[in-house]
Amino acid sequence: MTFGQNDSMSVPPDRVTTRRKLLSRAALAGASLVLPFGQASGQTTRSSLNDGAVLAGSLSSSPEARLIAVYRAIAAGDRHALPLAAALVRDVPGFQLGQLVYGDLLMAQSGTLPSFATVKDGPPAVREQLQKLRAEATRRLGSLREMPPPGTVPEQVLELARNVRHVVVVDASHSRVYVFEQKSSGLQLVRSFYASIGRAGFDKEVEGDLRTPLGIYHITSRLDDQQVEELYGIGALPLNYPNEHDRRMGRTGSGIWLHGVPRVSYARSPYATEGCVALANDDMAYLMEVLQTRRTPVVVANEVNWVRPADQAAERRSFETLLTKWQEARARGDARTLLALQTADFNARVDNPLRKASLDAEPLGASGELDPQADWRQVSVFRWKRGAEVTIVNYTVVSTKPSRSADRRQYWAREQGRWRLFFDGAV
């Protein structure tokens, strides 16, 4: 039998009522038991644990989903809150927030629960840790209210090639990672995870500022646990920060990863990394298994605007027209039109290692010259609208004589109301 269950079930009815009051008091007073829904009334949000399991964690049996089940039991005054919490800390001993909830419940049972939310005379390190755990609790529970409406996608995704299986979205201000899978009906949300970002927040500008960058990135490689330090848990997925837009804006730094956490821990506080995005090792294991290197886009936004794909139709058609114009001008060797569609600094950053790679990977015709007739395939289009407006185009260019293909990427900037191409190179 689960620890605590015997004792709870043997308490006389009058004491059960008292215990429920104590549980409700825990929900109100404990730093770990801050509930954004219902308090002791049992009121719930529009997302239930069962129908929102994929939204509250990786699976209904995930530690996060189990923690939320404990919170719901507390809000309802349910005596099963304690055994649920006991089972959680038994199975996931490194889950500090779970440990705190369990400890609060034990103290609630004895009537000795202090008001951690207002404690002022404890050691500074303890107060700081409680504050971090309270912030983590708020972020995890907030995910139940902040899930993307059904049928919506991040506004940054205009078009997705069929060979791209997933899109990852990091909502930095809410400590949340969403994983979308491309299905026959379009993008569908399949997983959602709590995550930690940079200690100084987000919107990285310079190396060492401890901020997580905002933008549209791609996974460049996969590093397993033999290739990373224990700080990064079971592995990492590096991102292409700084991308071409970042370079153009003068942003510096490197080594921005999606990665795990030390094995002694289950999670880190919302702001705890040096600029990376850190997830629980179980969640990271899933990402490392399913995500493609080089193709998987990772949108990192301060807040995500969710839209219906149909609402983007006009914007998508407008940019498709522009791309067609560029392709046709290139095919007929129309240098005047191409120059009019490019910025003055097109491919100008000579220190960019992608520049040489771009030239080396360019499909050639039979004469050995650049093949203007090469076919475009597997086109993805992403739009970034924070500050400068930028469009990123991923595509595969194929030359048939001789047969050769290369994955390439373009960056377009909207300047004075018109789109201009400032980079076109190999991935």
Q: Find the mean pLDDT for residues 212-217.
A: 98
Task: Return mean pLDDT, the chain.
Answer: 82
Out of 48-52, 121-125, 385-389, 407-411, which region has the weakest mean confidence (pLDDT)?
A: 48-52
Virtual CA dihedral for 90, 117, 145, 65, nearest 10 degrees?
0
Shared-domain flag, residues 188 and 319: no
What are the pLDDT digits (tens) for 9-37? Answer: 333 444 444 444 444 444 434 434 444 33
Q: Find the mean pLDDT for residues 175-195.
A: 94
Residue 31 lies in a domain: yes
The residue type at 22: L
Q: 20 or 268: whose pLDDT is higher? A: 268
Residue 148 lies in a domain: no
Max mean pLDDT among 86-90, 109-113, 129-133, 346-350 falls in 86-90
pLDDT bin (cut points 50, 70, 90) of residue 400 is confident
Residue 110 lies in a domain: yes
114 pLDDT above the threshold of 80: no
- pTM of this prediction? 0.83
Q: What range defines the domain where residue 370 resides? A: 309-426
DSSP state of 427: -
DSSP state of 130: H
Shared-domain flag, residues 122 and 172: no
Q: How many whole angstroms separate alpha carbon 224 and alpha carbon 237?
A: 9
- In the structure encoding, which two tokens stand for residue 140, read together? 């995890």
The residue out of 307, 330, 355 marking a domain boundary is 307
Q: How far apart are the first and last CA of the chain?
A: 56
Q: 392 or 76: whose pLDDT is higher? A: 392
Shared-domain flag, residues 297 and 377: no
pLDDT bin (cut points 50, 70, 90) of residue 264 is very high
The residue out of 95, 123, 142 marking a domain boundary is 142
Q: What is the CATH number of the domain that holds 257?
A: 2.40.440.10
Shared-domain flag, residues 178 and 271: yes
Residue 147 lies in a domain: no
Query: Could you tell me if 234 and 332 are in contact, meaning their C-beta atoms sit under 8 angstroms apart?
Result: no
Q: Give me the phi and psi of 234, to 5 degrees please.
A: -80, -10
Please state whether the peptide bond connecting residue 148 to the residue before it is cis, i.e. omega within 30 degrees of 0.
no
Out of 141-155, 239-253, 288-302, which region has the weakest mean confidence (pLDDT)?
A: 141-155
Task: Provide the number of structural domains found in the chain.
Answer: 3
